[in-house]
């Protein structure tokens, strides 16, 4: 197959009839920037396949339900190719990390196992950003824990570095520049926290916003709260009771914006490099509200990439043991000055209280103490940025997988 991916277009059976669950073929996370450097796509219709060619049948998923339902929407011609070992079916669900692999194992036993004599499931692949899915998969289907966000953004950052460290951002009143530690002026720092909250329908985003409201932090920190998808329910399962009244007050709070005032759409904009250096220069600590907080998933999105790229320390609001997994990629964290034992707490409510306690301690420190700490951690910040940049210089796991499939 060389450097060509022969992909059978799946839109007729998926996107065209169920576009709430699927993206157009080759328009989602699968054919990412780094993949384009290694492969060209030859896209064909299922009725125009060549008898001497091996194919990928690519299904780009928006929801995890798309995977479950997609197994039984495949055209018979594709199933015939699968059973002849001439086609690999790839479900690409690489932008999210919410697939429950334990449930999938059970679902497979009930739904797919009885059909193993009819369908060669070993030619099916699921690419997903949940970092334990590959290890915990108990089925013949090949799970592959994609690191899409790290791979794509580190690749793009290297392209930015090649382009004079600069990328123009048309929708914002600033451009993105790759900064170095010499660009940091610690004396300019006067605010404790930086936190971006766009999709506010997730309970843990309501929780951290309730903490900001309770402590009257909106005006003297760099915080956004765009209220997209905001429902207003008190997240009682994860929010300590002393903050419940503040959660109610969020219903009447106008949206809080940092740099989106000129955007017509404050929900669908690309957040990858929309990071105003001024926000980082003024603040001591990023509060990273990752996509997932309340289950066992291990998933990193573009949100954790922002402080890594922009030389900023962070507290990570995510699922238990996320810092442990982050360290497996070679990154360093800030235990010692920040008590990171919250990362080991499996109870969601207790973990949130421990995070709030650390934020309280952080706010109690003088600016001089925080500036001294910053002087000490500069080597860690440099290490994290360099580690992230180096990711983009390596052949990704997905590229290696595709090369292996068509070697």
| Length of the chain counted residue by residue | 407
Domain ranges within the chain, ordered by starting residue: 4-146, 150-391
pLDDT of residue 272: 79
Q: Rounded mean pLDDT of 263-269? A: 69
First to last CA, the chain: 7
> For all residues of the chain together, what is the average pLDDT?
93
pLDDT tens for residues 163-172? 888 888 877 8
Strand partners, 287: 315
pLDDT of residue 350: 98
Higher pLDDT, 371 or 274: 371
pLDDT tens for residues 94-142? 999 999 999 999 999 999 999 999 999 999 999 999 999 999 999 999 9
pLDDT of residue 263: 72
pLDDT of residue 269: 67
pLDDT of residue 329: 97
What angle (nearest 5°) sits at the alpha carbon of residue 155, between those of residues 67 and 36? 65
pLDDT of residue 158: 95
pLDDT tens for residues 275-311? 889 999 999 999 999 999 998 899 999 999 999 999 9
pLDDT at 407 over 70: no
pLDDT tens for residues 23-42? 999 999 999 988 998 999 99
pLDDT tens for residues 186-243? 999 999 999 999 888 899 999 999 999 999 999 999 999 999 888 889 999 999 999 9
At residue 386 the predicted structure's pLDDT band, cuts being 50, 70 and 90, is very high
pLDDT of residue 113: 96
Neighbours of 330 (CB within 10 A): 13
pLDDT at 312 over 90: yes
Full-model pTM: 0.94
Two structure tokens written together for 56: 């990928």
Neighbours of 38 (CB within 10 A): 15
Q: Rounded mean pLDDT of 357-367? A: 98
Q: Rounded mean pLDDT of 52-76? A: 93
Phi, psi of 314 (to 5 degrees): -155, 155
pLDDT of residue 1: 43
Q: Rounded mean pLDDT of 250-264? A: 86
pLDDT tens for residues 75-98? 999 999 999 999 999 999 999 999
Q: What is the maximum span of the chain, computed from C-alpha positions, in angstroms?
A: 72
Phi, psi of 158 (to 5 degrees): -65, -35
DSSP string, 102-123: HHHHHHHHHHTGGGTTTS-GGG
From CA 17, how far away is CA 330, in angstroms rounded?
43
Q: Rounded mean pLDDT of 45-58? A: 92
- In this prediction, what percent of the chain has a pLDDT beyond 90? 80
3-state secondary structure of 61: strand
Cβ contact 389:136 at 8 Å? no
């Amino acid at each position: 197959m060389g450097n060509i991916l022969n992909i059978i277009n799946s839109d007729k059976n998926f996107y065209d009839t169920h576009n709430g669950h699927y993206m157009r073929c080759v328009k989602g996370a699968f054919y990412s920037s780094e993949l384009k450097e290694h492969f060209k796509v030859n896209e064909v219709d299922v009725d125009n396949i060549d008898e001497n060619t091996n194919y990928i049948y690519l299904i780009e998923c928006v929801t995890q339900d798309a995977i479950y339902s997609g197994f039984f929407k495949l055209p018979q011609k594709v199933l015939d190719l699968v059973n002849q070992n001439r086609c690999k079916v790839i479900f690409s669900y690489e932008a999210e990390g919410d697939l429950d692999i334990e449930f999938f194992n059970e679902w497979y036993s009930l739904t797919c196992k009885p059909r193993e004599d009819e369908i060669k499931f070993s030619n099916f692949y699921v690419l997903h950003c949940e970092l334990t899915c590959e290890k915990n998969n108990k089925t013949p289907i090949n799970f592959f824990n994609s690191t899409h966000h790290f791979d794509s953004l580190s690749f793009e950052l290297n392209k930015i570095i090649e382009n004079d460290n600069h990328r123009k951002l048309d929708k914002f009143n600033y451009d993105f520049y790759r900064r170095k530690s010499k660009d940091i002026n610690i004396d300019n720092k006067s605010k404790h926290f930086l936190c971006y909250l766009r999709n506010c329908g997730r309970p843990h985003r309501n929780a951290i916003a309730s903490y900001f409201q309770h402590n009257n932090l909106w005006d003297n920190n760099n915080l956004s709260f765009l209220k997209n998808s905001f429902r207003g329910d008190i997240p009682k399962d994860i929010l300590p009771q002393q903050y419940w009244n503040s959660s109610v007050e969020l219903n009447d709070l106008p949206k809080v914006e940092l740099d989106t005032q000129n955007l017509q759409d404050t929900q669908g904009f690309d957040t990858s490099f929309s990071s105003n250096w001024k926000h980082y220069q003024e603040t001591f600590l990023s509060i990273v509200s990752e996509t997932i907080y309340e289950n066992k998933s291990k998933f990193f999105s573009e949100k954790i990439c922002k402080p890594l790229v922009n030389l900023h320390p962070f507290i990570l609001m995510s699922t238990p043991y996320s810092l442990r997994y982050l360290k497996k990629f070679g990154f360093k964290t800030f235990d010692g000055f920040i008590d990171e034992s919250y990362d080991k707490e499996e109870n969601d409510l207790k973990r949130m209280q421990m995070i709030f306690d650390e934020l309280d301690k952080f706010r109690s420190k003088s600016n001089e103490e925080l500036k001294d700490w910053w002087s000490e951690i500069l080597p860690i910040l440099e290490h994290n940025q360099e580690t992230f940049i180096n990711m983009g210089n390596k052949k990704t796991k997905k590229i290696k997988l595709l090369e292996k499939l068509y070697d």
